[in-house]
Chains A and B, each alone.
Chain A
Amino acid sequence: MDQILINVLNGVSSGLLLFMLSSGLTLIFSMMGVLNFAHASFYMIGAYIAYTLTRFVGFWPALVFAPLLVGVLGAAFETTALRRVHKFGHVAELLITFGLSYVVLEVVQIIWGRTPVAFDPPAFLQGPAFTVVQGPDGLSLALGAASDAVCQAAKCSRFPMTRAFMMMVALLMLVGLWLLLTRTRIGLVIQASLTHPEMVEALGHNVPRVFMLVFGSGCALAGLAGVIGGVTFVTEPAMAAVVGSIIFVVVVVGGMGSLAGAFIASLLIGLLQTLPLTVDSSVADLVNSLGGHVSDKSTFWPLLRITLAQAAPILPYLLLVLILILRPRGLMGTREG
C-alpha cells in the first residue's frame, strides 16, 4: 500500500514537471504553428542561469529571475530570428529552432563546461516533505522525517521536499495560466489570436507582439521547470536531450495546442513512466498463470520473456504511435492532423 502511494506520487510529480515544460510548448504551437525544437534547451538554460544566480543572490530570487531571463531570451529569439524566417514557411521555422537547440547545447558547454554542475536545493528543500509510515495498524503520514523509533517498528518511505515543491509550483502555474487565459484581457486577446489573428489585428491589437509575448512566456515556463528540474535531478548538458523527446509525446498525445490535453497527457505519461517499472512480470508469466504453457523453447520467447519493467521506457512512445494511428488530433485536440 505504502509503495503504491509513493509510486503514484512519483508518477504524478514527474508528470507535473512534464506539464510545466509542455504547457509552454503547446501554447507556442497553437498560437504560431511553430513546433519549437529548442524548447527543452530553454529548460536547460533555466537550470544553468539559476545555478549561476544562486551563487550571487540565493536560490529563491534565482527561482524568480532565472525564468524571467529565459523569457527575455526567448522573446529576443522570436523577434530577431523566428519572425524573420516566418515568411519562408513552417519548415524554415522548424529548422531554425532545431539549429538553435544545437547552438544552445554548445554555448552551455562552453560557458559551464561539459560535466554536471553542483546545483543543490536550498536547505529548506532538502530532506523529506513527509514520510509514509506503513505500520501494523495501517497507513499514516508524518510531516518531515519520521523518527527512527517509529521507523523501526514500521516501514517508512520518504517523499522528498523537492518533489513536493515541484508539484506545488506546477499546480500554481496551472491555476495561474488558466486564470490568465480566461479571466484577463490579454488572455482574451491571446485566445482570439489563436483562431482569428487577422480579425484581432483588424481590431487594432499588435498580433506580432502577442506572439512575442507568448513565445517568451512559453520559454519562461520551460525555464521555471528547468530551475526545479535542475535542483531535483542533475544540471548537465545532457538534461535537454533527456526531456526533449518526451515532451513532444506529451503534446501530441494531449492534442496539439490544447492546454487541458497537455495536462492530462503529462500526468498520464508521468504515471506511464513510473508504474510499469514496478511490475516484474512478462507476457510469458501471464500466459502461464492463465493455464497456458510458454517456455524458452516457444517461438517468440525473446519477446515473450520481456518484463513490463523492461518494456516501460518504450511505453510512452508506443502510446504516441497508437494515438497518431487511432486519434491523430490527440486526446483533447480540436483539429485533425
Chain B
Amino acid sequence: MAIAKNVVSMSIASTLLAVSGAAFAQKGETVKVGWVDPLSGLMAPVGQNQIKSFQFIAEYFNKSNPAGVKFEMVPIDNKLSPQESTNAVKSLIDQGVRYVVQGNGSGAALAIMDAVAKHNERNPGKELVYLNYAAVDPDLTNSKCNYWHFRLDADTSMKMEALTTFMKDQKDIHKVYLINQNYSHGQQVSRFAKENLARKRSDIQVVGDDLHPLAQVRDFAPYVAKIKASGADTVITGNWGSDLTLLVKASHDAGLNVKFYTYYAGVTGTPTALGPSAAGSVFVVAYADSNMPGEIGKLADQFKAKFNDDYYTLATYHAFALLSNAMAQAKSTDPVKVAQAMEGLRFKSFNGDVEMRKTDHQLQQPLYVTVWKKADAKHPYSVENTGYNFQTVKYYEPYVSSTPTSCEMKRPGSP
C-alpha cells in the first residue's frame, strides 16, 4: 500500500510539473530504475558489489546531470534465474518503474528482453526500457535483437576482436589453449577466439579447446596438466569467479608458465587469488583499467573509502550518462521518447566518446587490454587491497572492436 501511495503521489507530482510546462519538463522528476540481478547464491558477491555501484553512481548523478532528474534504484533479487527475472519485471511494472537494468547472465537477459517486449506491445503508453550493463551474448544485439534493449558492455565478439588485435602483435604467441565454461558464454568465447585467430594470425596453433562445467570444478590440476602437455604458451579463457581463480592458482602450483588472456579477472574475488604470483602473466580485456584518470578515478577512490570494495562495473556510469543525456534531449522521462533519443546518441562517458549504435543498440566504446601488475606511483590503485592492479598496455578506439550486426530491428510504429 505504502508503495502504491508513493507512486500515486509521485505521478501527481510529475503531472503537476508537466502541467507547469517549463522548457525542461523533466527537471526535478524522480526516475525509478529497477535493478534485477542476483543478491543470493553463487553470484551474490558480484550482485552486491553492483547494486552498491549503481546506488553510488546514482547519488553522484543526482547532484548534477544534463536532464536535472533524480535517479532512484529499486533492487530485486533474481537469484540468477530467468524465471525469477520475469517475475521481477512484473513486480517492477506494478511499482510503476519504467526503466530496468540487468547484467548477470545472458539467460536472465533474454528473459527480461522477452518480458519487456511483450509488455510494451500489449500496454502502449506504459512502455519499459531495458538497459543491459553486462550480459555479453552477441545474439542479444544480432539474431535476437529488440528495440527496447540497449547494451552498455562490449559483447563477447567485440572483446575478442580487441584481444586478438593485441595478440596479433605478440610475437611470442605460438600455441594457444582455450579453456572455458560449458555454457553459452564460454562456448562463444571459444568460437570467436578460433575465428579471430585464424583470420589475424593463421600461424598460431590452437592446441586445445576445453569446456568444463560451470562453477563445479574444485580441482583444476588435471586441466593444467593437459595444458602443460599440449605445449601451449598462451591460454584464452572467458572464465569468471572461482572457475578463473582456481585455474590460475592450479597453474601457478604446477609451475605452468603461460600467459592468460581473460575477460573477467577483475571481478570480485579473483584479484585476491591472483596475488603477486600472477603478476605480468594475466591480461584482461575490458572497457576500463584500474587507474582511470579524472572524475571516474576519484569516484573509484570514494567508493573504496565508503565500502572498502572495488568499483569495477563502470557500465553503471554509462547507464546514467546515457539516460540523463537522452532525457535532456527528449525533454521528458517518458521511456518511449527516451528510447528514441537514445538511438544513435553520442555522449561523453568515462572512457571517451561513445555511441549507442542505432542499428542494434550496442554501445560502441573504447576497449582496454590491461595486465595484472604491482601498483606504482603512476598506477596507485590497489585492487582488493592486494597492492596490485590492472594497468593498460593497449587502448583501442571504438572502431577496432566494432563488429557488424545482423540485427533487423523492428521499431514501434513500423509495420
Nearest to A128 among chain B residues (CB) is: B255
Report which of B48, B221, B222, B228 forms a contact with A163, defined as CB distance below 8 A: B221
Assuming A114-B44, A238-B242, is B210 touching A14 (CB within 8 A)?
no
Segment of B27-35, B269-277, B356-364 in the binding face: B269-277
Q: When the two chains form their complex, are residues B273 and A277 in contact, meaning their CB atoms are under 8 A apart? A: no
Nearest to B228 among chain A residues (CB) is: A157
Q: A196 vs B277: C-alpha distance in the bound complex, in angstroms?
A: 55
Nearest to B209 among chain A residues (CB) is: A280
Nearest to A313 among chain B residues (CB) is: B213
Q: When the two chains form their complex, are residues B182 and A277 in contact, meaning their CB atoms are under 8 A apart? A: no
Q: Say yes or no: is B10 at the interface (Cβ < 8 Å to chain A).
A: no
Q: Say yes or no: is A140 at the interface (Cβ < 8 Å to chain B).
A: no
Q: A313 vs B269: C-alpha distance in the bound complex, in angstroms?
A: 24
Assuming A115-B268, A116-B245, A238-B215, is B222 touching A277 (CB within 8 A)?
yes
Within 8 A of A (CB), among B28-53: 42, 44-45, 48
Least Cβ distance of A133 to chain B in Å?
A: 12
Residue interface bits B341-361, CB-to-A below 8 A is 1, else 0: 000000000000000000000
Contacts of A323 in B (CB 8 A): none
Q: When the two chains form their complex, are residues A156 and B255 in contact, meaning their CB atoms are under 8 A apart? A: yes
Least Cβ distance of A160 to chain B in Å?
A: 4
Q: When the two chains form their complex, are residues A10 and B225 in contact, meaning their CB atoms are under 8 A apart? A: yes
Q: A140 vs B272: C-alpha distance in the bound complex, in angstroms?
A: 35
Least Cβ distance of B208 to chain A in Å?
A: 8
Residue interface bits A239-282, CB-to-B below 8 A is 1, else 0: 10011000000000000000000000000000001110110100
Q: How many A-B pairs with Cβ below 8 Å?
A: 92
Q: A117 vs B45: C-alpha distance in the bound complex, in angstroms?
A: 13
Nearest to A160 among chain B residues (CB) is: B253
Report which of B44, B182, B242 forms a contact with A234, defined as CB distance below 8 A: B242
Within 8 A of A (CB), among B218-253: 218-219, 221-223, 225-226, 228-229, 242, 245-246, 249, 253
Q: A73 vs B229: C-alpha distance in the bound complex, in angstroms?
A: 44
Interface-central residue, B42, B217, B253, B269, by most chain A CB under 10 Å: B253
Q: A113 vs B49: C-alpha distance in the bound complex, in angstroms?
A: 12
Least Cβ distance of B135 to chain A in Å?
A: 21
Q: Say yes or no: is B331 at the interface (Cβ < 8 Å to chain A).
A: no
Contacts of A238 in B (CB 8 A): 42, 215, 242
Q: Say yes or no: is B198 at the interface (Cβ < 8 Å to chain A).
A: no
Q: A113 vs B48: C-alpha distance in the bound complex, in angstroms?
A: 11
Contacts of A239 in B (CB 8 A): 218
Q: When the two chains form their complex, are residues B242 and A278 in contact, meaning their CB atoms are under 8 A apart? A: no
Q: When the two chains form their complex, are residues A116 and B218 in contact, meaning their CB atoms are under 8 A apart? A: no
Q: When the two chains form their complex, are residues B222 and A10 in contact, meaning their CB atoms are under 8 A apart? A: yes
Report which of B217, B225, B246 forms a contact with A7, defined as CB distance below 8 A: B225
Assuming A114-B48, A233-B246, A236-B269, is B222 touching A158 (CB within 8 A)?
no
Report which of B45, B182, B218, B246 forms a contact with A115, defined as CB distance below 8 A: B45
Q: Say yes or no: is B123 at the interface (Cβ < 8 Å to chain A).
A: no
Report which of B44, B253, B272 forms a contact with A118, defined as CB distance below 8 A: B272
Interface size on B, residues (CB 8 A): 34
Nearest to B270 among chain A residues (CB) is: A116
Q: When the two chains form their complex, are residues B254 and A157 in contact, meaning their CB atoms are under 8 A apart? A: yes
Q: Say yes or no: is A195 at the interface (Cβ < 8 Å to chain B).
A: no
Q: Say yes or no: is A206 at the interface (Cβ < 8 Å to chain B).
A: no
Q: Say yes or no: is B211 at the interface (Cβ < 8 Å to chain A).
A: yes
Q: When the two chains form their complex, are residues B272 and A116 in contact, meaning their CB atoms are under 8 A apart? A: yes
Q: A233 vs B215: C-alpha distance in the bound complex, in angstroms?
A: 14
Report which of A3, A117, A156, A233 forms a contact with B225, defined as CB distance below 8 A: A3
Interface-central residue, B182, B213, B272, by most chain A CB under 10 Å: B272
Interface-central residue, A159, A233, A234, by most chain B CB under 10 Å: A233
Assuming A116-B245, A160-B254, is B218 touching A233 (CB within 8 A)?
yes
Known: A157-B225, A273-B219. 14 other contacts (CB 8 A): A10-B221, A10-B225, A115-B45, A116-B242, A117-B272, A156-B255, A158-B254, A233-B219, A234-B245, A239-B218, A242-B216, A242-B218, A278-B222, A313-B213
Would you give 20 A-B contacts (Cβ < 8 Å), ordered by A?
Answer: A3-B225, A11-B222, A114-B44, A114-B48, A116-B242, A116-B269, A118-B273, A128-B255, A131-B255, A145-B255, A158-B253, A158-B255, A229-B218, A236-B269, A238-B242, A277-B222, A278-B226, A278-B229, A280-B208, A313-B212
Interface set of B (CB-CB < 8 Å, partner A): 42, 44-45, 48, 182, 208, 210-213, 215-219, 221-223, 225-226, 228-229, 242, 245-246, 249, 253-255, 268-269, 272-273, 275
